[in-house]
Amino acid sequence: MKVNLYKNFKVTNHTPVNFIIFTDPLGVYEYNSYVHTNMQIKPYDISRKVLELGKEAMLDEPLLAPTSGSVNKFWTRTLGAYKIAHECRLHGYTVQVIDWVSFHDIETLMRLMDKYVGDNTLALGMSNTFSLKLPWMLNLVPAEMPILPLEGVEDIDALYDNPLETYMGFLPHGQELDDKFVRYVKNINNNVKFVKGGTWTREDNVYRNVDIVNIGWGDVTMPEILKNIEEGTVDSMPIHTKHHYAMDLTSKIDMHQSTMSFLKSDALIPGEQMPLETARGCIFKCKFCSFALVGKEKGSYLKDVENVRRELEENYYEHGITDYWIVEDTFNDDHDKIVALHKLITSLPFDITFSCYLRTDMLYHNRNQDPPQHQLLLEMGLRHVEFGLETTNPESAKDIGKGMNPILQLEYIKELKRDHGWQDVLVGSGFLVGLPSDTKESLNEMGKIFTQADFPIDSPMVRTMKLNRVDGTDDIDKRNNSEFSLNWEKYGYEVYQDKFLHYPKYKNKHGIDFDTFERFIRNLHQRRGRLLMPEIELTAKGAKFPGITDEFFAPGEFKETNREHLHKLVRMQSARILHYQKTLLTQDL
């Protein structure tokens, strides 16, 4: 099998830009769950054998071909890098986003630098929000995919000696390949600065091959960083430990006036699902949640609906985009917002479909509106919803701060499907175990509820709650941590192993330990007949990429248990990524 088809591509159309942003799609990060919940598989051994034996060996050895594993995802682009690019463009800078960075080998990335780095290039940026943290994981791509991200590694042992050690560098490819890449860029333009940002970035972290870090949102601070680089005033920026940094923890942008435009150079593909932001933050403040802007004031951080209109129309007429993932934490936390967006979307001369995060209790409380909220969402184009039920135990729901009984919420979801037209809406929900009031009895009851024939959640995702124990008064440690993590002793937690995959192991107030919760999840998945969650987004909406591949999935067609469907998904994903690479290497700006 020929892999990394564009690694030797000769760039003839040099189009250097001021700023290059690397990012990864939603779904790549799910590789981490492949490691955390399946340690007995030792997937790093799979990754190593692929390097040692080559991709051809994967096709003949089922152990080396994780086609049906969580690595075979329906990847969706995320908003952050594109929003920062848009804001930088508004300030007069030229920007190129390079997506799917974890799928590009270093040679292909260097060919992209041949095209986009020049004397005018100020910086390269890397978002770590959805990128992989363990370099060897990049090789866990399906067997048939003609991609090997870690091709070219010479010191194989260095990648696998400490497989659970996070690499703190610029690219996620590990030290050897990261160093090679940075040297290559510096040979083109030695003045280029390397900027690290994203959810996991802190000013007290020490990164390899990084000059500047951005903490928090970057749509206001990144244009300021570029200005500092351009004017030679980076030294005026603050330093905490090693790196100069900029910070925005409160989202300084004026959301009401916020806009978003994708350019032709972003290489959007008709048929793709794209992210859409209509607001930021959440009016609720669940005690396990560590997101920023939780507990915001109702009606704040809302985008003007006319700006949303312009974005939807531009995406449709210029890029052929009609499908969206609405990215805010809780789309229906403000009923007035839903009414305004319903008026906008139903007035468009074309239809859209979308997925979003909703709260069941808000749907329930607005069921008697005229028209009810659940009807508005359907008329707007809802096809897939993720609820945050989190538990089936009423006492655990109180722990979190969710007042509505979860059993009543499940009954209401059944009613929506039975009586209110939601039968074709695919429903997912996250669930947590490890909450303070979880008991063996409540876990057994959860198991019974999950295996009932009329359980209304099509795709439940059950995780053990991660407790990021915070001790002391360090403001950086306190930042973006949940109430449970900040005040773990108050809620009856006892830590008995300081670090396990970056988080401590604990017992809750009833003495149930972390390992017991993990075993419960494995047993629950096995009782439901599968270990992996279905690809709900693909099932809900289907997929097609006209002009790239003739293969497609109709809505409702994809079945994760159908082996040919899994292979077809790999072929479609491969066609999309190869088309994207070729477009980036050849396009005019």
Summarised one tens digit per residue, pLDDT across range 5-39 is 999 999 999 999 999 999 998 866 454 444 444 44
Cis peptide bond upstream of 25, omega within 30: no
The neighbour count for residue 330, using CB atoms within 10 Å, is: 19
pLDDT at 114 over 90: yes
Mean pLDDT of the region 309-330: 95
pLDDT at 317 over 70: yes
Helix or strand run (H / E) with residue 273:
strand 273-276
The neighbour count for residue 107, using CB atoms within 10 Å, is: 19
- Angstrom distance (rounded) from CA 259 to CA 92: 15
Mean pLDDT of the region 306-328: 96
Cβ atoms of 548 and 576 closer than 8 Å: yes
- Model pLDDT for residues 166-195, shown as the tens digit of each residue: 899 999 999 999 999 999 999 999 999 999
pLDDT at 72 over 70: no
pLDDT at 40 over 70: no
pLDDT at 431 over 90: yes
pLDDT at 70 over 60: no
pLDDT at 532: 41
Rounded to the nearest integer, the mean pLDDT of the chain is 89
Tell me the whole-structure pTM to 2 decimals.
0.93
The neighbour count for residue 40, using CB atoms within 10 Å, is: 6
Residue 540 or residue 83, greater confidence: 83
- Angstrom distance (rounded) from CA 253 to CA 371: 33
pLDDT at 38: 44
High-pLDDT (> 70) share of the chain, %: 91
- Angstrom distance (rounded) from CA 488 to CA 201: 23
**Which has the minimum average pLDDT: 213-227, 236-250, 481-495?**
481-495
- The pLDDT confidence band at residue 48, using thresholds 50, 70 and 90, is confident
For 500, half-sphere exposure in the C-beta direction (CA atoms, 13 angstrom radius) is 17
pLDDT at 375 over 80: yes
Contacts of 440 (CB under 8 A, 6+ apart): 510, 512
For 123, half-sphere exposure in the C-beta direction (CA atoms, 13 angstrom radius) is 29
pLDDT at 499 over 80: no
Cβ atoms of 425 and 556 closer than 8 Å: no
- The pLDDT confidence band at residue 41, using thresholds 50, 70 and 90, is low
Residue 500 or residue 142, greater confidence: 142
pLDDT at 35: 43
Cβ atoms of 98 and 112 closer than 8 Å: yes
Which domains are assigned to the chain?
A: 19-252+570-586 (no CATH), 284-540 (3.80.30.20)
pLDDT at 476: 76
Cβ atoms of 67 and 566 closer than 8 Å: yes
pLDDT at 396: 95
pLDDT at 51: 83
High-pLDDT (> 90) share of the chain, %: 63
Mean pLDDT of the region 435-443: 96
As a whole number of Å, the end-to-end CA separation of the chain is: 33
Contacts of 23 (CB under 8 A, 6+ apart): 78, 80, 81, 97, 98, 99, 101, 126, 127, 129, 130, 131
| Strand duo 95-98 + 123-127: pairing | unpaired
The neighbour count for residue 552, using CB atoms within 10 Å, is: 14
The neighbour count for residue 520, using CB atoms within 10 Å, is: 21
- The pLDDT confidence band at residue 377, using thresholds 50, 70 and 90, is very high
